[in-house]
Amino acid sequence: MGEHVRLEVADGVGTIRLDRPKMNALSAAMQDDIKAAAQEATERDDVRAVVLWGGERVFAAGVDIKEMADMSYVDMARRSGVMHGAFTTVARIPKPVVAAINGYALGGGFELTLCADVRFAAEDAVVGQPEVLLGVMPGAGGTQRLTRLIGPSKAKDLIFTGRFVKADEALALGMVDRVVPADQVYAEAVAWAGQFANAAAFALRAAKETIDRGLETDLETGLEMERQQFAALFATEDRDIGMRSFVENGPGKARFVGR
């Protein structure tokens, strides 16, 4: 991790904390550090779920425009692949991931939240993809992940207009999954992530991968992926623990070991 991104771990939850005052503008260095934090969260056994958070004031107002303003096509052709790689690394964390959104999550900032499995937003949060107002378009996954999340017509309206979306409308559109008071966003996200601290890690990993990969293919292929992943979990110790616990004690009482 670098100066403006760190991974903080407590009680099985890893928080990828963005901290670049004033607006958490995502510089190239921050993008690289986000990738490193996501890789570490993936690899660490003591991290069972992840929270993405930019602090109490703002999630991230976007990619650093000052840094991009003088870039040529060649410059961006090189950099865009690195940026995509960083965001994809977050999206591929094989554990539950929640974005905790305070303040603005715009452009690249909102695209980063789209890499999470769920999004919790403050009542006064503002989200959107305003890149068209700068003469460009979303370039870190917005055209693809947002479209898959809320559908093409709604995504096109937001991307074509570049308008800012307040939390209540974002919830109605499906851009976020929960709206809570601003001072409770991070706590709510940690509580959601914390429920997986002692969960069956390989079952969660298999479920997430099957859902995400299945969205990229046809139904028949997705069903076959599901069948294979389901069968593979019968090789895990957690499957044995879970089923024996159910038979002996009923549901929800298993103590998993993550193997």
Instruction: Write out pLDDT tens, residues 78-131.
Output: 888 989 999 999 999 999 999 999 999 999 999 999 999 999 999 999 999 999
Q: How confident is the model at residue 140 (pLDDT cuts 50, 70, 90)?
A: very high
In this structure, of 46-60, 156-170, 239-253, the range with the lowest mean pLDDT score is 239-253
Q: What is the dihedral of CA 56, 91, 189, 225, to 10 degrees?
A: 170
Q: Which of 94, 107, 2, 112 is nearest to 49 (CA)?
A: 94
pTM (two decimals): 0.94
In this structure, of 78-87, 106-115, 148-157, 158-167, the range with the lowest mean pLDDT score is 78-87
pLDDT higher than threshold 90 for residue 186 = yes
> Which superfamily, per CATH, for 5-194?
2-enoyl-CoA Hydratase; Chain A, domain 1 (3.90.226.10)
Q: Do domains 5-194 and 201-249 have the same CATH topology?
A: no
In this structure, of 5-9, 44-48, 79-83, the range with the lowest mean pLDDT score is 79-83
Could you tell me the two tokens for 27? 């510089």
Q: How confident is the model at residue 67 (pLDDT cuts 50, 70, 90)?
A: confident
**How far is Cα 182 from Cα 143, in angstroms, rounded to an integer?**
28
Indicate the average pLDDT of the chain.
Answer: 95
Can you give the pLDDT at residue 253?
A: 86
Domain-wise residue ranges, the chain = 5-194, 201-249
> Which superfamily, per CATH, for 201-249?
Lyase 2-enoyl-coa Hydratase, Chain  A, domain 2 (1.10.12.10)
Pairing of strands 178-180, 118-122: parallel
Quote the percentage of the chain above a pLDDT of 70: 100
- Give the ranges where 114-216 is alpha helix by DSSP (H): 147-150, 152-161, 167-173, 185-194, 201-214
Average pLDDT in the 19-44 region?
95
pLDDT higher than threshold 90 for residue 1 = no
